[in-house]
Amino acid sequence: MLPSRRHNQSQLPQILGHLASDVGLAIIIVLVFLAVYLIDIITPLGDPVWLLYFIPLILAYWSTRYYAIPAVCIVTLLFLICGFFFSPVGIAASLALGYRFSFFIIFISVALVLWIKRGL
Q: pLDDT per residue over 75-104, tens digit each?
A: 999 998 898 899 888 888 889 888 889 998
Domain extent for 7 = 3-118
User: 3-state DSSP call for residue 113?
Assistant: helix
How many folded domains does the chain comprise? 1
Which residues of the chain have a pLDDT value below 70? 1-9, 11-21, 120
pTM of the full structure? 0.74
Tell me what pLDDT residue 17 has.
Answer: 60
Report how far residue 57's alpha carbon sits from residue 59's, in angstroms, rounded to the nearest whole number. Answer: 5
Which amino acid, one-letter code, is at 52?
Answer: L
Helices (H), 1-120: 3-7, 12-20, 22-42, 54-62, 68-86, 93-118
Tell me what pLDDT residue 62 has.
Answer: 85
Tell me what pLDDT residue 16 has.
Answer: 57
